[in-house]
């Protein structure tokens, strides 16, 4: 159990986090999702003891991060955005060095490295120099590093940043396998990444939590609006868009790109607008073939919740 309570962090006058609270149950794969500069990395650095908060607390299995940092770090494996590995070492030698730092007995190190090599797909490169590895393989070495002491919690900061599509799929698979036995927390600003990997998503924007739930519930929630799918006959596209856009409570009307034919639209509106939309269609004597609520995608929800311009937040994460 991880308990984050009222976490706030300032860098001089810049507010990176404000009053963030999250409870994370054992065995969850939790994604911290947000645009660049939202506060994801700052949260992870405080959780892992690399930064001190301005205020607030974090407890990991009842150990306070500030009061008992060693006990907390024993329970956490951490992979920063860029894996901190020594390029001049062979992969095996590097992992053996990490095993020694983690105080794994010499007699057990080869077995542990072999287990992690299989889990992280390092067999082909285990005796190659780290500097020769692709970024994808370096990330896998970083994951093996984070897993070396078999921690209960894994904290991964943008684990697929800079990888090609095939490498991303491979890292996702590794994370899901890890999540079968461990609590995994990872940050990303890639929506597909969160949807494909996470049990739970916390969306952070401008240092505060703006949504918390499963990918399905966040999409279905329709935070400020709902999507309605409308199919008409007898209406020109431009006329239908103009008429429907004029209905009170409607914020956007666009052609339904997934529809093979004309006359289908996706309307973003509040929950009280559907009756008014029906009356507007009837007033024009168009034939209504379909009026159905559309499941809000995670992408729509994310765009809605992070619509505030983040440019002023600079590079702080």
- Per residue of the chain (317 residues), give pLDDT as tens: 899 999 999 999 999 999 999 999 999 999 999 888 899 999 999 999 999 999 999 999 989 999 999 999 999 999 998 888 999 999 999 999 999 999 999 999 999 999 999 999 999 999 999 999 998 999 999 999 999 999 999 999 999 888 888 888 888 898 988 888 899 999 988 887 888 889 999 999 999 998 898 887 776 554 455 778 899 999 999 999 999 999 998 988 988 877 656 789 988 887 778 889 999 999 999 999 998 877 656 766 777 777 654 444 444 56
Distance CA 18, CA 209 (A): 9
pLDDT in tens, 270-301: 777 888 999 999 999 999 999 887 765 676 67
Name the architecture of domain 223-295: 2-Layer Sandwich (3.30)
How many other CB atoms sit within 10 Å of the CB of residue 106?
Answer: 9
Across the chain, where does the E strand assignment appear? 2-11, 14-24, 29-33, 55-60, 63-64, 76-79, 153-157, 183-188, 200-205, 208-213, 226-233, 250-255, 264-269, 287-294
Q: At how many degrees (to 10) do helices 106-120 and 165-179 cross?
A: 130
> Looking at the domain 2-215, which fold is it?
Rossmann fold (3.40.50)
Domain ranges within the chain, ordered by starting residue: 2-215, 223-295
pTM: 0.74
């Amino acid at each position: 159990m991880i308990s984050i309570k009222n976490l706030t962090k300032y860098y001089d006058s810049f507010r990176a986090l404000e009053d963030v609270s999250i409870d994370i149950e054992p065995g969850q794969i939790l994604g911290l999702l947000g645009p660049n500069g939202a506060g994801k990395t700052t949260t992870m650095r405080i959780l892992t003891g690399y930064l001190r908060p301005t205020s607030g607390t974090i407890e990991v299995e009842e150990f306070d991060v500030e009061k008992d940092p060693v006990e907390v770090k024993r329970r956490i494996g951490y992979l920063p955005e860029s894996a901190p590995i020594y390029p001049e070492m062979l992969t095996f030698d590097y992992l053996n060095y990490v095993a020694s730092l983690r105080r794994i007995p010499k007699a057990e190190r080869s077995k542990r490295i072999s287990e992690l090599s299989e889990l992280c797909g390092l067999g082909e490169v285990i005796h190659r120099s780290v500097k020769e590895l692709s970024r994808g393989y370096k990330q896998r070495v970083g994951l093996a590093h984070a897993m070396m002491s078999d921690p209960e919690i894994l904290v991964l900061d943008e684990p697929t940043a800079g990888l090609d599509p095939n490498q991303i799929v491979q890292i996702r698979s590794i994370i899901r396998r890890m999540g079968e036995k461990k609590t995994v927390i990872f940050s990303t600003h890639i929506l597909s990444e969160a949807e494909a990997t996470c049990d739970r998503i916390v969306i952070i924007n401008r240092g505060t939590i703006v949504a918390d739930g499963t990918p399905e519930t966040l999409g279905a929630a329709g935070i400020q609006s709902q999507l309605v799918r409308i199919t008409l006959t007898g209406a020109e596209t431009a006329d239908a868009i103009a008429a429907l856009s004029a209905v009170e409570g409607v914020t956007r009307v666009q052609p339904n790109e997934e529809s093979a034919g004309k006359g289908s639209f996706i309307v973003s509106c509040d929950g009280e607008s559907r009756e008014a939309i029906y009356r507007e269609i009837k007033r024009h004597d168009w034939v209504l073939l379909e009026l159905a609520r559309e499941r809000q995608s995670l992408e729509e929800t994310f765009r809605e919740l992070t619509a505030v311009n983040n440019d002023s937040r600079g590079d702080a994460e």
